[in-house]
Amino acid sequence: MGTKRVGWARIKSLINENTNGLRMPNQAVETVTAAKTLVAGDSGKTFLINQNGINVTLPTPTAGMNFKFVMAQDYATAPCTVTAAGTGYFMAGNVTPVVDGTGTGTQHANGSSHEVATFAAASLAGDWLSMVSNGTLWFVQGACSGSAAIAFSD
């Protein structure tokens, strides 16, 4: 077999193509100001939730579906919730308060009855909850500014 020569222009082009392919795209962000039911096409988005009584309903989970919820403002008068669609789709995982650095007051979703995550009266702007599904459960993790700022319920 013979040798193939590659010029500098082609080498630079290949490097640029690889660099462009490695860049992380901007994450889709949506502000939620009223009740919202998510659909599968919303997977991968970050939702900025306003302060008063915003209720978000998750779609029926499929493996790999994921969402992130961030409080965009401090709690004012009514809690905001994220609720699993239908019955039998539960949340499993933890939300840790980080205000004192000890993790005291960690809230746990048990994976067998918890279907609602609530940004409660202690929630502040920046408190967050991330969810990913295996098709049955919603695995959650998050952080909040104070004990019980995010809580789980049936």
Domain ranges of the chain: 26-153
Q: Spell out the per-residue pLDDT of the chain, length 154, in tens.
A: 566 777 777 777 777 777 666 666 678 999 999 999 999 999 999 999 987 899 999 999 999 999 999 999 999 899 999 999 988 899 999 998 887 555 567 888 898 999 999 999 989 999 999 999 999 999 999 999 888 899 999 9
Asked if CATH classification 2.60.120 holds for the domain at 26-153, the reply, yes or no, is yes
Q: How far is CA 69 from the centre of its chain?
A: 5
Cα–Cα distance, 47 to 139 (Å, whole number): 17
Ramachandran sector of residue 58 (left: φ over 0; alpha: ψ -120 to 50; beta: rest): beta
